[in-house]
Chain A
Amino acid sequence: MDDILRDDPMDTLKLLDSTAPITHVDFGIPAAVLAEMTHRCPLQCPYCSNPVELERSSVELSTEEWKKVMTELAEIGVLQFHFSGGEPTVRKDIVELVKHARAVGLYTNLITSAVMLTEAKVKELADAGLDHAQVSFQGAESGVADRIAGFKDAHKKKLQAAQWIKEAGLPLTVNAVMHRQNLHQLPDIIEMAVAIGASRLEVANVQYYGWALKNRAALMPTVEQLDATTKLVEESRDRLKGKLVIDYVIPDYYAERPKKCMGGWGRQFFNISPSGKVLPCHAAESITGLEFDSVRGNKSIAWIWQNSDAFQKYRGTGWMPEPCKSCDFREIDWGGCRCQAFALTGDAGNTDPACHLSPLHDKIFKLAQTEAATDVREFKYRNYANATPKAEVN
């Protein structure tokens, strides 16, 4: 799930004199779609990006429904399909679905905790045409990593799976979600990524919605930690140029300017929930009052993207209040993050408090500092027992 935390997941690169990048056409169908195949997961990471109302297996799209979705996505111009979760390999049909995605022309990316992979399964996935694998790591060694994941021997299993992935000839990305309780291990995580043959490393500081918001006091880094991390990432990028690409996301409570969340609401990203809801971002369901169309309804995915209320509500600049409305950056950051505005102000239509122009900015900054200085270590683990019960089943 960590990839979508990045500012601009699909920035295009030029070859020779290539013309306009294809992914930034306003409201054109996104080039990549993230699919939460399931919310089931053996890990219990306390910052999980899934909603706190986890969907049960009984409402998940069937094999045939996912195939139909993939076929439709390929037809309307989606190029890459991210198999995410929860843990996507929990699904027994994962190999069959990868095969189908490839058959309809989609580039396939598996975003996995890797703890359920076997050597045989990795080979089956590679033979099915899997293009790329991203494995999450919670730390640099078992002591810290297994405690954060809430899963015994998780770290050991991941290292083994990473080796199988490389042996199968697949490119590997390491996803590292960072916070106060593991930032001290980042130097070793970087070395580990090189050692296991990863070509990319995503260093993503936790973003505080959903589960992470519940655990904010146990996760928030100090300003000093953050500064040291930024310096380390910059040095490592230089040192490892040509060996390892490092993507970096800072925690935006400490930012001056808000992030261009999702590249702007409804501009270049959507995801699909296990039950088929089409969402402007993985945390969008945390905003109460928004209704989301489903692939199970009678609307096409292209229609939902172009026209549905949830996508239109915060698209563009028309919805903006001051100080966003007259701000020179309004078409650069698109007002920051709606989910964060909702979580911190109670209204998703407010300015994201991560922005220094928000009346709440100083308060948020101080809150982060206060929480970072606490010695809270206990997590509210992400699992069905700690989840908010579903009000309704669709």
Chain B
Amino acid sequence: MHGVVEPMADEKAPLTETSRPVLPRYARMHFDKVRGRHVLLVPERVLVPDETAVEILQLCDGKRTIGEIVDVLAAKYAADRDLIGTDVIAMLEDLRGRDFLVVVEGD
């Protein structure tokens, strides 16, 4: 978990547009070729993200900020930026609440 500092779950600050999210080493995106879809592999569970979630998670590289991720999606879908921003943060908070997403601290 080099470079990633994460406080205890109940002390986490909310995600903002400047947060830089990344999947921790134990949450892994995997293309399941038998079932023809992406899955997120985590301890004892297989999460099934929909296409939008897959796209968001593929942009979570620990370098891009959430703001930059929203920009990419807003440009691609010519959609309302605020709406996308709200959805992106809600999805990422959900994952982070279960420790399947962390944020990289610092600049």
Contact = CB atoms under 8 A, between A and B. Distances in A.
Chain A partners chain B: yes
Contacts of B25: 131, 169
B2 to A, nearest CB: 8
B49 A12 contact: no
Interface in A134-191: 169-171, 173
A200 B44 contact: yes
A3 interface: yes
B44 A170 contact: no
Contact of A16 (B1, B10, B39, B91): B91
* Secondary structure call for the B interface: mixed
B82 interface: no
Given A105-B30, A107-B28, A171-B26, A12 B47 contact: yes
A15 B34 contact: no
Given A107-B30, A131-B26, A169 B1 contact: yes
A16 B34 contact: no
Interface residues of B, number: 33
A80 B34 CA distance: 14
B76 interface: no
B44 A3 contact: yes
A79 to B, nearest CB: 6
Contact of B45 (A10, A169, A243): A10
Contacts of B97: 242
Interface in A1-30: 3, 9-19, 21-23, 28-29
A31 interface: yes
A22 B26 contact: no
A109 interface: yes
Interface residues of A, number: 37
A12 B32 CA distance: 15
A296 to B, nearest CB: 24
A77 interface: yes
Contacts, number: 94
A214 interface: no
Nearest to B99: A199
B84 interface: no
A18 B44 contact: no
B80 interface: no
A31 B30 CA distance: 13
A23 B45 CA distance: 10
A237 interface: no
A11 B47 CA distance: 9
A132 B49 CA distance: 21
A77 B33 CA distance: 7
A169 B45 CA distance: 19
Given A29-B34, A77-B32, A80-B41, A10 B26 contact: no
A76 interface: yes
Contacts of A14: 48
Interface in B44-99: 44-50, 52-53, 87, 91, 94-95, 97-99
Contacts of A243: 8-10
B43 interface: yes
A13 B44 contact: no
A10 B41 CA distance: 11
A376 to B, nearest CB: 34
A22 B35 contact: yes
Interface string A27-69: 0110110000000000000000000000000000000000000
Given A77-B35, A79-B30, A171-B99, A31 B46 contact: yes
Given A16-B91, A171-B99, A242-B10, A11 B45 contact: yes
B39 A22 contact: yes
B41 A107 contact: yes
Given A10-B46, A18-B48, 10 more contacts: A10-B44, A11-B45, A15-B40, A15-B48, A16-B50, A16-B52, A22-B32, A80-B41, A200-B43, A243-B9
The 7 closest A-B pairs by CB, nearest first: A77-B34, A242-B9, A107-B41, A132-B43, A15-B49, A169-B1, A15-B53
Interface of A: 3, 9-19, 21-23, 28-29, 31-32, 76-77, 79-80, 105, 107, 109, 131-132, 169-171, 173, 199-200, 242-243, 245
23 contacts: A3-B44, A13-B47, A15-B48, A15-B49, A15-B94, A17-B52, A19-B50, A22-B32, A28-B35, A31-B46, A79-B39, A80-B46, A107-B28, A109-B44, A131-B25, A131-B28, A131-B43, A132-B43, A169-B25, A170-B26, A242-B10, A242-B97, A243-B8
